[in-house]
Structure 1
Amino acid sequence: MAVEPLVAPAVEEGAKKSGVLWLGLAGGPRLAWHVWHDGAIHLVTGGEEQALPGLDALDRVRVTLRSKDNGARLVEFEAAVSVVDQAREAGAVAALAKERLNARDAEHLAERWARDSVVLRLTPVS
């Protein structure tokens, strides 16, 4: 079954304005930091990064974006989950590294993520 990208300005705008989102994972909603890059949400999990157990094994996940100002729900949607080939998608990794706050090894994030973590792409779908 083909996955159709969700063309919704509210999704892109909400993802660009907020650095965090909520994911519907087993065990309840999980807060995660992310970046919007190349038409999708990207995030990193595992190793020393945020723990999002089981996300990399899902085909789809429910995403909730909230207002940065007042926490109100902006938009909810389904997203296709895919693992990013970090060597081939260096732009996504660089965008994530740029937004990663308080990293102990900011200069070597990409190398650490390639070794210890998984970078995921969440593509909004209809």
Structure 2
Amino acid sequence: MELAQVLDNALRKAAALWVRPAGHPPRLVWALWRDGAVHVAVGGTGQVVPGLADGVDCTLTVRSPTTHSHLVDVTATARLVDPDDDTAAALRSARLNGRPDWDSVYRWDIP
């Protein structure tokens, strides 16, 4: 099975993943896999990921949906996006610790 298919299968089931911006420690974040990208809401009083900014290279660590063990690390680039209403609503509902005051959504394009 090729990497893209493995990632797609794992990220469809993942509620969270580890994000490590270049030069910073990894953070576990609530995430949403949608339209070929991982969406994460950060900022405000919600999730904080030091070093995460538009254009920053990151490493995403994805766990296996069945064993919950390490599956793969992939390199991605953070992109600040303005999500459509459906994506924003799905992201808010996917976050177990979601707050109504989230103010930014970053998108990582998986190569």
TM-score, with structure 2 as normaliser = 0.83
Q: What is the match of residue 75 of structure 1?
A: 72
User: Of the candidates 15, 22, 26, which is equivalent to residue 19 of structure 1?
Assistant: 15
User: Of the candidates 32, 56, 59, which is equivalent to residue 35 of structure 1?
Assistant: 32
Q: RMSD in angstroms over aligned alpha carbons?
A: 1.9
Q: What is the match of residue 105 of structure 2?
A: 119
Question: Is residue 49 of structure 1 aligned with residue 35 of structure 2?
Answer: no
Q: Secondary structure at the match of 1:49?
A: coil
Kept in 1: contact 2:57–2:75 (CA 8 A)? yes
Q: CA 1:102–1:45 in structure 2 vs 1: closer, same or farther (change >3 Å)?
A: closer
Structure with more helix by fraction? 1
Distance 1:103 1:20 in 2: 13
1:68 Cα shift? 4.3
Q: CA 1:52–1:83 in structure 2 vs 1: closer, same or farther (change >3 Å)?
A: same
TM-score, with structure 1 as normaliser = 0.74
User: Of the candidates 56, 60, 64, which is equivalent to residue 59 of structure 1?
Assistant: 56
Letter in 1 for 2:106: L
Could you say which structure has the larger radius of gyration? Answer: 1
Structure 1: any 5+ residue segments left out of the alignment? 1-6
Structure 2: any 5+ residue segments left out of the alignment? none
Q: CA 1:102–1:54 in structure 2 vs 1: closer, same or farther (change >3 Å)?
A: closer
Percentage of identical aligned residues: 34
Q: Secondary structure at the match of 1:71?
A: coil
Give the number of equivalent residue pairs: 108
Q: What is the match of residue 97 of structure 1?
A: 92
Q: Secondary structure at the match of 1:52?
A: coil
Q: CA 1:83–1:57 in structure 2 vs 1: closer, same or farther (change >3 Å)?
A: closer
Q: CA 1:60–1:27 in structure 2 vs 1: closer, same or farther (change >3 Å)?
A: closer
